[in-house]
């Protein structure tokens, strides 16, 4: 069975994560910091073996999921219509895990830094890539703003994703500001994205009602 470029890139990133875990194993503490609170203070740890396996395992799971989705989605054939964007999103997701693993390893090697601010540019990039993808996404059940109204009407899908994709790119710019304002980084990363989710849900409902009222008339 031929391995897609998307899957190959995902597996290559997973292999790099495994290699980093193996090479740095003996230099890391028995209990590794793996979670930080809003003040960038460590508030959770994991045993070294678990922490080192966590990110490669998540990367492998995500790579497998993106390979599986086009096969199990009843509308999976539509994914072929935006395959390059879909592949970009898949690789970006695994790259984010690799980046976060690198931050965790760096911290646990004795280098303290504002973790939330360091994560901000990577999350911002994911928002921008996601915006790029959803602008191009054809109707499917896994990628995009999947509301009852976007899935029921192709026109609503297209309008919601065109608008929502642009908004996600703006959210990416806002999230990147977390680097300059680390004390507000979590709010900048989370709140705008939640607002976009709420807005696109309401917008898709209103567009569906408007378009169907027009058709009924």
Query: Could you tell me the residue ranges of all domains in the chain?
Result: 1-113, 115-217
For the chain of 217 residues, list the mean pLDDT of each consecutive stretch of 10. 79 97 97 91 95 97 94 89 94 97 97 93 97 96 94 96 97 94 91 97 96 68
pLDDT for 194-214, tens place per residue? 999 999 999 999 999 999 885
Residue 63 and residue 17: Cα distance in Å, rounded? 13
Query: What is the pLDDT, as a whole number, of residue 4?
Result: 84
Instruction: Provide the strand spans (E) within the chain.
Output: 31-36, 42-47
Dihedral angle sign, alpha carbons of residues 88, 94, 96, 102 = negative
| Residue 1: per-residue pLDDT | 44
Residue 216's pLDDT is 53
**Residue 112's pLDDT is what?**
92
pLDDT score of 3: 62
Task: Give the integer Cα–Cα distance in Å for 130 and 15.
Answer: 24
SS3 state at 42: strand
Looking at residue 51, what is its pLDDT? 97
**Cα gap 22→13, rounded to integer Å:** 14
Q: Quick one: pLDDT at residue 214? A: 58
Secondary structure class of 198 (helix, strand, coil): helix
Confirm if 17 and 103 have CB atoms less than 8 A apart: no
């Amino acid at each position: 069975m031929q391995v897609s470029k998307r899957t190959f890139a995902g597996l290559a990133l997973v292999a790099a994560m495994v290699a980093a875990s193996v090479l740095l194993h003996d230099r890391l503490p028995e209990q590794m910091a793996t979670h930080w609170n809003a003040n960038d203070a460590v508030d959770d740890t994991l045993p070294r073996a678990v922490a080192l396996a966590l990110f490669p395992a998540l990367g492998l799971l995500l790579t497998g999921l993106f390979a599986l989705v086009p096969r199990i989605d009843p509308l999976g054939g539509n994914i072929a219509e935006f395959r390059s964007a879909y592949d970009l999103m898949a690789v970006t997701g695994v790259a984010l895990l690799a980046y976060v693993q690198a931050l965790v390893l760096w911290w646990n090697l004795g280098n303290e830094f504002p973790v939330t601010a360091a994560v901000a540019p990577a999350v911002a990039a994911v928002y921008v890539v996601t915006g790029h993808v959803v602008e191009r996404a054809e109707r499917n059940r896994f990628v995009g703003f999947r509301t009852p109204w976007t899935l029921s009407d192709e026109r609503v899908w297209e309008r919601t994703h065109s608008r929502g994709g642009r908004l996600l790119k703006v959210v990416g710019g806002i999230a990147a500001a977390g680097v300059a304002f680390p004390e507000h980084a979590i709010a900048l990363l989370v709140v705008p994205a939640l607002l976009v989710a709420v807005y696109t849900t309401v917008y898709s409902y209103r567009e569906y009602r408007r378009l169907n009222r027009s058709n009924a008339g």
